[in-house]
Every structure is written in structure tokens, then in C-alpha cells.
Amino acid sequence: MTLKEVADLLNCNVLSGEDDLDKIAVESVGASDLMSDVLAFGSPGMLLITGLNSPQCVRTAAVVGACGVLVVRKREVLDNTVKLAKDLGMPLLYAPTSMYKACGVLYSQRLKDARELNG
Amino acid sequence: MMQPTTDKSSIDSLLEKLGEYFADMPASELMNPNVLTMSKDRTLWHTKELMRIRKISGVPIVDQKRRLIGLVSIEDIIVALENELIGERIEKHMTRRVVTVAPDETLTSVVAKFNRYRFGRFPVVNSEGTLLGIITKKDIIGAILERFRLMYVHDERRKSALEGTTEWFEKSLISGDYVEKDSANFAFNIDYTDVDMVGIGAAELKKFLIARGLDEQSVRRISIATYEAEVNVVIHSGSEGTIYCWMENGKTVKVRVEDTGKGIENIEQALKEGYSTASDHVRELGFGAGMGLSNMRRCSDKMMVMSEVGKGVVVEMIFEISGGKKDDSERSN
């Protein structure tokens, strides 16, 4: 599944990396608000779903080699988060849905669990 | 009972030397909890087979409640073979007066027992007599080596720090050599005033390492560990900090993150997963889950933390690049 398909499924606003979304394959998905948790379980190529809307979510995603970030739940994504995503070339999606729903929709698409992939 | 066939003298001297640093480690941490046992109703032949197949030199004998009632050693087996008693029940020939160790006995006490009794192993037994594990000299060395990966320095180096010199700030925690900060291949000053900036140093280091042609896997674990260290400086130290990185002959990468801030009051506690002194504000940013140091430990091959309250923290991490690559999936420790 590509990031573009994820964005369509969840009616996401694409805040960064729009042009390449259909070229990026989502290899697995992980969801957490705890960045330390993401650093611990994150696997390369994962899509990070988080309720965190500050720049840390993008930076953490970059460090673990995630393919993109999907911010959920929050009313908005901070400007400096969007700016950082653009600077780092990290696709950034936003959907005002709950994390539960976002995860459920993607899980039902049989996307893999990043945590399981990482042992 | 017999001694294991390892080079005894070198192990003994190693234990003596390391003993100073690990004197207070309890037996419960040293022992191997996965101990093979037998019931007294089996025959010595069964014990012999278990020893042969699993390459062990002694088998504790337990009752149905796993209480220790005896031990069969290789010596017992030899005697039984000589006297053609090997087909008889364990109960008749096992050693009944077994010297045991309590789970809270320290390494010092365990080593003293090895020296006094000359046995190859000591069962670890609680006050109810239940078998918890077994300790051989090999187990001790294994437990010490595991702890070596992360050693809280409270020996001479800590003493010199306490005496008012901040010499440890100038020296490598791992090698003891003077750190030549000028020679670092990478240096980054951490801005602690803006929490939103946290992680930039790690991101810069990542870029630098990629440009140097390091493999992806190594870059990833170095960046993750550095990120966590950087987060700690920003959210805990209340001071400026620096990230240094040295690439040594392409095989080893050393990262040192230091600050001159508040310091850590209790490193042992700080190392526990889930322990955190972070504020709610920091938690809202997705950090402060108490996983920082354990994440760093998981990603690095060697790590050492040195801190003194009011003087700051130095974290040194060694990453082996070729061959010694650590399996990133090793997370459940």
C-alpha cells in the first residue's frame, strides 16, 4: 500500500511531500505518542501514527527511518512541524480522526505491525 | 565434586580483580535461573545421560515442590560407575549435604565459598529451601560481562570527581584516556533553551554518518541513541551540552554526550525502564517515558554513564561497526 492510498482512505490533509506520496510504499505501521517508544520499536519504512503535533514527531520519524508521519486527533499541526517535515523531506499527513479509528482502518488493510517486524 | 575443566588460575585471578567492582552483586543476579533438575526417584544412569547430553557437571535433586534435597556431581557418577551402582536410584547416592547460596548473598561471599569449598557449583536456595538457580564460575563471569556493558562508575574515577577535580570530564569513561575533543570528527552544541529543537544534533549526526558512508543499520542505532542522549540534556540538565563523535578506523564509532547541568541523583534508578523525573510538559512532547537510558543501552555496544549532582552528566557510547553489529531486535532484556 502506498502513502497516497493511506491518505485517501483516511481523508488526510497532506502537509508535506504530496508529490511523491504514490511512490512511497508503507511497509509497516506503528502508533504511539511516546517518542522514546517509537525509537525503541520503530522499524525502517514504517508509517508513524501519532497524536503528537510538535516537531519531535517528524524528527523521531526521520531518525528511525520512517516513510511518513500521520498526525491524528489534534485540531491542527504546528507550523514548525510542517516546516521541519518539508526541510527533511518527510511526508506528513494529518487526519482529525481518533488514533483508534486510524489504526483500525489501516489494520483492516492488512498492513504489518512495525513492532512485530522489529521483533 | 569436580572442578570444571576451564583454565582455573586465570579465571580465579579475573574474578578477584573484578570482585572489587562488582562486590555487591547479589547471587540472584549472578545465577543461572534455568537450572536442570531431577527427582530422587530416577537412576544415576539418567543423571549421567542428562549431564552428557546437556554438558553439565552437576544436577540438583529436588522434591515435587522444587525444594533442594541433594545434588549429583560428576564425581558421584564416577564413583557409581566404578562400583557398578549406576543403575541405582539417585536417592541412595546423591550428595545430601549441599552447600548452598542465598539469593541475597553478595559476589564477595559467593567467591569466598568457591575458594573455601572447591566445588564447581552452588545451588541458590531461598529461605524455604526452594531452588532458584545455580551458580558456576562461568555464570559469574557472564553476569559480570553483562553488567560491564553498562557500568556506573563509582570507583576511583568517581572519587576523583568528588574530590573537586572534574577530571572525568576530560577523560574517556570507557578507556580512561584523555578525550581529545578537538579531534572529534563531529561536534554539535545542544541548545537546551528550546525544547522544540531537541533532536537536531542527532539529525545532524545522522547526516554526517551517512555522508561518511556508514551502513544504514549502524547509522540508525547511533542516531537513536544520540537522540535519546540529546533529549536528556535538553529536558533534564538545564545546561548546555555537546555531542562529540569519533570514527575510529571505520570499525568503531564513539559518541560522547556531555552537559554541565544538574546531574543524575541516582543512576541505578534512572537506568530502570519506566523511571522518569520528567515534567508533564516534557511528557506532552512525547518524552520522559523513562526509556531513554535503556534505549541508549539497547542501541550501543558499550555504554557508560557518569554523573555527579550539580556537575553534569557524561554519556559515552561505543558502536562496533563491522562484525560486532548488535541485533536491533534485542529489546526484551
Residue B3 lies in a domain: no
In this prediction, residue B78 has a pLDDT band, given cuts at 50, 70 and 90, of very high
One domain, residues B192 and B107: no
**Among candidate residues B92, B125, B147, the one where a domain is terminated:** B147
Contact residues on chain B for A63, CB-CB shorter than 8 A: 199, 202-203, 206, 220, 223-224, 227
Q: Do A36 and B295 count as a contact with CB atoms less than 8 A apart?
A: yes
Angle at B22 (CA atoms; ends B16, B26), nearest 5 degrees: 115
Q: Do B224 and A36 count as a contact with CB atoms less than 8 A apart?
A: no
Between strands A68-72 and A92-95, the pairing is: parallel
Whether B255 and B204 have beta carbons less than 8 Å apart is answered as no
Q: What is the CATH number of the domain that holds B52?
A: 3.10.580.10
pLDDT for B82-123, tens place per residue?
999 999 999 998 999 999 999 999 988 898 898 888 888 999
To the nearest whole angstrom, how far is the Cα of A66 from the nearest Cα of chain B?
11
Q: What is the model's pLDDT at position B322?
A: 65
What whole-number distance in Å separates Cα of residue A26 and Cα of residue A111? 8
Q: What is the CATH number of the domain that holds B284?
A: 3.30.565.10
Residue B211 lies in a domain: yes
One domain, residues B111 and B192: no
Q: What is the model's pLDDT at position A13?
A: 94
What whole-number distance in Å separates Cα of residue B176 and Cα of residue B137? 28
Q: Do B331 and A63 count as a contact with CB atoms less than 8 A apart?
A: no
Q: Do B227 and A118 count as a contact with CB atoms less than 8 A apart?
A: no
B281: region left, alpha or beta (phi > 0 left; psi from -120 to 50 alpha):
alpha
User: What ipTM, to 2 d.p.?
Assistant: 0.78
One domain, residues B22 and B84: yes
Residue B332 lies in a domain: no
Q: Do A64 and B224 count as a contact with CB atoms less than 8 A apart?
A: yes
Work out the average pLDDT over A58-83. 91
Residue B227 lies in a domain: yes
One domain, residues B269 and B250: yes
One domain, residues B196 and B296: yes
**Among candidate residues B104, B127, B147, the one where a domain is terminated:** B147
Contact residues on chain B for A69, CB-CB shorter than 8 A: none
User: Hey, what's the cell of A35?
Assistant: 517518542
Q: Which fold does the domain A3-105 belong to in CATH?
A: 3.40.1390
User: Worst-scoring range by mean pLDDT, A18-22, B12-16, B137-141?
Assistant: B12-16
SS3 content of chain B, % helix, strand, coil (to 5): 40, 20, 40
Range of the domain at B72: 8-147
Q: What is the model's pLDDT at position B17?
A: 65
Q: What is the model's pLDDT at position B177?
A: 66
Q: What is the model's pLDDT at position B323?
A: 45
Largest CA-CA distance found in chain A, in angstroms, rounded: 35
What chain B residue is nearest to A50 in terms of C-alpha separation?
B286
To the nearest whole angstrom, how far is the Cα of B208 from the nearest Cα of chain A?
13
To the nearest whole angstrom, how far is the Cα of A4 from the nearest Cα of chain B?
26
Contact residues on chain A for B272, CB-CB shorter than 8 A: none
Residue B230 lies in a domain: yes
One domain, residues B114 and B248: no
Contact residues on chain B for A34, CB-CB shorter than 8 A: 286-287, 289, 291
Highest mean pLDDT among B2-16, B17-31, B61-75, B132-146: B61-75
One domain, residues B46 and B194: no
Residue B77 lies in a domain: yes
A116 touches chain B (CB under 8 A): no
One domain, residues B311 and B177: yes
pLDDT for A44-69, tens place per residue?
899 999 999 989 899 999 999 999 99
Residue B333 lies in a domain: no
Specify the number of domains making up chain B: 2
What does pLDDT average to over chain B?
80
Q: Do B196 and A56 count as a contact with CB atoms less than 8 A apart?
A: yes
When CB atoms are compared, the residue of B220, B287, B295 closest to A40 is B295
Q: What is the model's pLDDT at position B328?
A: 43
pLDDT for B15-48, tens place per residue?
666 666 677 888 998 898 889 999 999 999 999 9
Residue B274 lies in a domain: yes
The residue ranking higher by pLDDT, B10 or A69, is A69
One domain, residues B178 and B315: yes
pLDDT for B256-301, tens place per residue?
999 888 888 777 777 676 677 777 777 777 777 677 888 888 889 8
**Among candidate residues B118, B147, B176, the one where a domain is terminated:** B147
Q: Do B203 and A59 count as a contact with CB atoms less than 8 A apart?
A: yes
One domain, residues B250 and B306: yes
Q: Do B331 and A57 count as a contact with CB atoms less than 8 A apart?
A: no
Q: What is the model's pLDDT at position B132?
A: 95
What whole-number distance in Å separates Cα of residue B291 and Cα of residue B286? 11
Map residue B40 onto helix, strand or coil: coil
One domain, residues B298 and B192: yes
pLDDT for B235-249, tens place per residue?
888 888 999 999 887
To the nearest whole angstrom, how far is the Cα of A61 from the nearest Cα of chain B?
10
User: Worst-scoring range by mean pLDDT, A73-77, B49-53, B140-144?
Assistant: B140-144
In this prediction, residue B327 has a pLDDT band, given cuts at 50, 70 and 90, of very low
Q: What is the model's pLDDT at position B162?
A: 45
One domain, residues B27 and B69: yes
